[in-house]
């Protein structure tokens, strides 16, 4: 995390001195973007840097489901399971992904290429069902489109 300190310093300069707590969210987001997950050592270092209790960072990490505490696969597949996607077949698509990848939701393939997760509404209900791969939305999905998508991921 130390190499991110100059970025954090620049961010900190934009906030009032007593608002260190407000920096927790953008800092952990940047740490995850950099490392792929937020390690225990990152929490300790960030708590020291910001001068906030460690639990304050833990609270942010446990509240927001997009934060990860351990490494994941190169491709993170997140299938929405909320109402609109569910009504348009996301359970069937999730089962298709599980069969295709040979893993259950919440798991990573043995070769480290794919992690499969379920998520709540992604805010794209009008184009349900939705699958997010890393940061990219794939909408109006069906099994054929999933097969084509998986084939294109190296
Ligand atoms: S329910 Fe899936 S995007 Fe809203």
Each residue's pLDDT tens digit in the chain (154 positions)? Answer: 889 999 999 999 999 989 999 999 999 999 999 988 999 999 999 999 999 999 999 999 999 988 999 999 999 999 999 999 999 999 999 999 999 999 999 999 999 999 999 999 999 999 999 999 998 999 999 999 999 999 999 8
140 alpha carbon – ligand 1 mean position (Å):
11
- Three-state SS for 100? helix
Per-residue model confidence (pLDDT) at position 50:
96
Q: Which residue has the tokens 């480290």?
A: 112
Question: Crossing angle for the helix pair 54-63 and 24-35, nearest 10 degrees?
Answer: 70
For ligand 1, pick from 124, 137, 140 the residue to mutate: most ligand atoms within 8 Å of CB.
124
In this prediction, residue 135 carries a pLDDT of: 86
What Rg do the C-alpha atoms of the chain give, in angstroms?
18
pLDDT for 1 equals 81
């Amino acid at each position: 995390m130390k190499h991110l300190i100059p970025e954090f310093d620049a961010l900190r300069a934009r906030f009032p001195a007593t608002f260190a707590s407000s920096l927790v969210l953008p800092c952990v987001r940047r740490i995850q973007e950099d490392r792929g997950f937020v390690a225990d050592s990152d929490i300790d270092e960030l708590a020291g840097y910001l001068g906030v209790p460690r639990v304050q960072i833990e609270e942010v990490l446990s509240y927001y489901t997009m934060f990860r505490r351990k490494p994941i696969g190169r491709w993170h597949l997140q299938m929405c399971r909320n109402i609109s996607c569910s009504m348009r077949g996301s359970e069937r698509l999730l089962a298709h992904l599980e069969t295709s990848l040979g893993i259950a939701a919440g798991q990573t393939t043995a070769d480290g290429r794919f992690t499969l997760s379920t998520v709540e509404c992604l805010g794209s209900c009008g184009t349900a069902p939705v699958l997010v791969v890393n940061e990219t939305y794939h909408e109006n999905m069906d099994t054929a489109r999933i097969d084509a998508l998986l084939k294109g991921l190296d």
